[in-house]
Amino acid sequence: MAAKMVKICCIGAGYVGGPTMAVIALKCPSIEVVVVDISATRIAAWNSDQLPIYEPGLEDVVKQCRGRNLFFSTDVEKHVCEADIIFVSVNTPTKTRGLGAGKAADLTYWESAARMIADVSKSDKIVVEKSTVPVKTAEAIEKILTHNSKGISYQILSNPEFLAEGTAIQDLFNPDRVLIGGRETPEGRKAVQALKEVYANWVPEDRIITSNLWSAELSKLAANAILAQRISSVNAISALCEATGANVSEVAYAVGKDSRIGPKFLNASVGFGGSCFQKDILNLVYICECNGLPEVATYWKQVIKINDYQKSRFVNRVVSSMFNTVSGKKIAVLGFAFKKDTGDTRETPAIDVCKGLLGDKAKISIYDPQVSADQIRRDLAMNKFDWDHPIHLQPTSPTAVKEVTVTWDAYEATKGAHGVCILTEWDEFKSLDYAKIYENMQKPAFIFDGRNVVDSEKLREIGFIVYSIGKPLDQWLKDMPAVA
């Protein structure tokens, strides 16, 4: 008789679960894939024409499979009970209180998922951790499952995701590597093999790496820490470039030509954002501290410190250029997402920049092609780390945000402004009619390019005073030194 159809269930219909499962369904027509989530609105969105996340190519994949072998449901327990392989991609936010607050990961959602799996399972399961989680989560989950096993056998695997937002679908179609960590026991190896066979439907064998559980978990944190470190390294150099008259783009280009270094992740900017870099480094720091390695912890902390320094340096530059006050002045902010081609605002540098300007009583007008006014207001009203907790726990009274307007047009945002801050590298910002923008601004008109996207020489010809990160300074900016 034919082997029965493998059933996969994924708990958590977010940025990781949704796209990953959609691609598995597309590439493995013989596997039934169900994504479950307790949020009815989120599941409704996945079943609608307006998906809950924006990711190039995602809609095509979902539409090809949805209703065939890809399903989205709120009936969590039924589908968990029926599945052979359960992916868990629930949130692991940074703790906001208690032991390890501000650094440690909050495993509340993870633990409740594990207990629910133990409650409803009637057959053996492979449980795969699929969110960014700190090392040793698998062990905790394993303990919960085995202590509640009722004779059922569970194998825990770690299968960290390495998706980059904006290119997630391409990353899934053609990954650099797929990492599967498991126990080094016969049952563990068998489970690793079962998951390997799923990926082998479209990923070349030599790109599927297997390791022990801890190596897989730590590889994820280490990869993000090293990527973020490259950004902080080039951002640190950008400050020195401004001080000496060097050009950070030229420096980064020369450095990136070294084949051992390579050109990627060497763009100086107002700072890195996104849901993982800061969270993962804080996690790494915490794990180092817990294991009695303060020197290692301090080393990785610097990556975040430089990122915070870069954001505050940008705000100081804006304020000092404008006669040391932005009080009551309109400032346009172009771009709010943490990078182009995504609507994601998690940990975006724009939040700290806007808060810094609002702290100096500026009036801000924001335009981003993918981010809703609602989201922007929520982000600006939130405390650090709140964004990663459920919406009903987030602050609802955006009081300080009345000095903020959100527009759906860059020209509207810049009209009557004293300065323009470019905080996301959306392609459309390269082709705006800056002469028209200049005409409608107060003079002197400033552009602060936090992503080095505009041609500063052309803008200077129009009449702008331009600040680009890590580039030689205008005479004006030299005369108005930023007070640290």
Is 271 assigned to a binding site? no
Q: Answer yes or no: 276 catalytic.
A: yes
Q: Tell me the C-alpha to C-alpha distance, in Å, between residue 6 and each of 35, 36, 129.
A: 14, 17, 18
SS3 state at 205 = helix
Q: Note if the bond before 56 is cis, omega within 30 degrees.
A: no
Alpha-carbon span 230 to 115, nearest angstrom? 39
Is 416 assigned to a binding site? no
Is 277 assigned to a binding site? yes
Dihedral (CA of 419, 396, 111, 196) sign: negative
The residue among 87, 107, 86, 84 whose CA lies nearest residue 95 is: 107
Is 93 assigned to a binding site? yes
Is 91 assigned to a binding site? yes
Catalytic residue among 276, 288, 354, 421: 276
Is 100 assigned to a binding site? no
Is 207 assigned to a binding site? no
The residue among 36, 25, 117 whose CA lies nearest residue 73 is: 36
Structural contact between residues 333 and 315, judged by C-beta atoms closer than 8 angstroms: no
Is 108 assigned to a binding site? no
Is 37 assigned to a binding site? yes
Q: Is 265 exposed, middle or buried (0-12, 13-18, 19+ CB in 10 A)?
A: middle
Is 460 assigned to a binding site? no
Is 132 assigned to a binding site? yes
The residue among 78, 65, 7, 4 whose CA lies nearest residue 36 is: 78
Is 30 assigned to a binding site? no
* Dihedral pair phi/psi, residue 86, rounded to 5°: -115, 120
DSSP structure string for 347-380: T-HHHHHHHHHHHTT-EEEEE-SS--HHHHHHHH
Is 14 assigned to a binding site? yes
Is 134 assigned to a binding site? no
Is 97 assigned to a binding site? no
Longest pairwise C-alpha distance within the chain? 82
Structural contact between residues 276 and 224, judged by C-beta atoms closer than 8 angstroms: yes
H/E run at residue 219:
helix 213-244
- Name the residues annotated as catalytic: 276
User: Which residue positions form the known binding site for NAD(+)?
Assistant: 12-17, 37, 42, 90-94, 131-132, 165, 276-279, 346
User: Which residue positions form the known binding site?
Assistant: 12-17, 37, 42, 90-94, 131-132, 165, 276-279, 346
